[in-house]
Amino acid sequence: MKTAGWRSALIYGCAVALCQPLAACGSADAPSASTNDKAAAPARTAAIPADAPLVIAFGDSLYAGYQLGPKEGLAPQLQAALAEDGVVARVQNAGVSGDTSAAGLQRLSYVLDNAKTKPALVVLGLGGNDMLRGIGPEQTRANLDAMLAELKKRKIPVLLTGMMAAPNLGSDYANAFNPIYPELAGKYDVNFYPFILDGVIADKSLMLGDDLHPNAKGVTVIAEALAPLVGEALPDGE
């Protein structure tokens, strides 16, 4: 874990302590229109060929673009960041606000089975809502393990994005929760980004008013950090 990630996680813990009643990291019926506490993301669009490699961004509200406009969420911004790096790929949003790891496991096969083509990569990020709800880390680990096993069985490469336990949950919870992501990344030999909110959670100008979700500019930071890892993980990536 990068040092900056740990500092960000400490601030994240303070935010979670204040917002614990949310207990869901967003809701499925949250508004998608932009609000005044979000800075507009740069307008970055590029024509993507129909046969471009498919990347599925599979996660919760941090992936789904909670309270953001249609071009401001992780999938469109990651696709644009890849294009700026000269990597042509189509990024599909499969983020659902409020999803726990258990909910993600239930819908993973459906998403994969109904994709227009076999994904060249799945960017996987779940577990934040488990942590907010105090779900046992052993359940989170088992669900993520099952998802990674399914993706391995289908021979689909993965980029796993990690989450960290809020310090207010105590050291016992953190000691059980925080190792889940690096250990599973090692077990399945997948690409790994340790903390999805690294470099964002500590900067209020990059967060929504709830101090839990990134605004459009915050998503830009995340997308630009993930883009090189995604590019390397795609076929013919370096």
Strands 121-125, 158-161: pairing kind: parallel
Cα dist from 234 to 45, 62, 87, whole Å: 20, 22, 9
Any idea what the Cα angle at residue 65 is, between residues 63 and 66, rounded to 5°? 110
Question: Which of these is catalytic: 8, 61, 97, 101?
Answer: 61
| d(C-alpha 39, C-alpha 56), whole Å | 25
Q: Which residues of 134-170 are buried (b: 16+ CB within 10 A; e: fewer)?
A: ebebeebbebbbebbeebeeeebbbbbbbbbbbbebe
Question: Which of these is catalytic: 145, 203, 210, 211?
Answer: 210
- For residue 204, the tally of other CB atoms under 10 A from its CB is 14
- Short-list 94, 57, 48, CA closest to 230: 57
Cα dist from 185 to 33, 100, 130, 152, 179, whole Å: 35, 19, 19, 12, 10
61 is known as an active-site residue: yes
| d(C-alpha 163, C-alpha 153), whole Å | 24
Q: Mind telling me the catalytic residues? A: 61, 210, 213
